[in-house]
Amino acid sequence: MHTRPALRTSAFKQVDVFTSEPMRGNPLAVVLDAEGLDDATMQRIAAWTNLSETTFVLPPTEPGADYRVRIFTPRSELAFAGHPSVGTAHALLEAERVAAKTELVQQCGAGLLPLRVEGDGATRRIFVRAPQATLHAPERALAAAAGDALAAPGTVALARAVDLGLRWLVCDLDRAERVRALRPDFDAVARLTRARDAVGLCVFGRGDERDAPCALVVRAFCPADGIAEDPVTGSANAAIAAHLWASGALAAIGHRYGASQGRELGRDGRVEVCVDEASGAVEIGGASLTCIDGTLALPIGTAP
């Protein structure tokens, strides 16, 4: 007789992030009781959920932190990511695992990151302060290579690498219609991002009246990490905002603006971006809602 393996369980949520309408944002799997899971098991679960990220909530080990989170893509662990930070805070507040207050502190691979909570319930919006960005100089060679990989040679006005706990290749395409029309060569994008040790390549363009009230249109491609196109990406939007601040381009957009992402995938995400005018510190955030709320069964003692 075949016997079922022993199981342990965890409270589990699947949260749609950067949207107030179900199935229009970026889904995130949240494992709320991750104590006792080793690295290999976390990675195995993240590969199984097959979402762009899965988070694992643990007790904090640093003074001042409200909770600790580990963030995994289907293939690797990240020190920081935006939509997992926002979505995990939403899940914890909804489950009453953390106190309902206007400021939280998340412990993650990138250190202690402050989060700000506006509103409550269905109107709640959560903002995370991204790690301080390191901006590399713009490169003509990178712009040319990115244009080729995007199957749109000559369209990338500027390209540079931006590090904020993970590295993005940020590409300015100037106009939103160029962004929306892209049909990238994903194999070429994967080769370029691997060569540059980047998690992905993100592109942006200025919106017009069709994109209102959003000032920017954004897309993010991460095929080397098993994600051809990410629906709505907090860290990419933070990298773009850091670039715009450093290059003096925020005056025409504003230091608090909205970015549209995901329509090409049948989504309609909105990322709210706030940039401190003096320091360049970036907050990204928005609405979230829970689409799946239940219990995750985890086999005990099975090899990955």
Annotated catalytic residue, options 21, 53, 139, 229? 53
Distance CA 146, CA 251 (A): 26
| 53 included as an active-site residue | yes
The answer to whether 229 and 221 are in contact (CB under 8 A) is: yes
Cα four-point dihedral sign 144, 205, 85, 289: negative
Residues facing residue 112 across a β-bridge: 107
CA pair distance 83, 34, nearest whole angstrom: 19
Q: How far apart are CA 159 and CA 113, in angstroms?
A: 27
**Bridge partner residues of 273 (DSSP):** 257, 284
- Extract the tokens encoding 5: 């393996």
Catalytic residues: 53
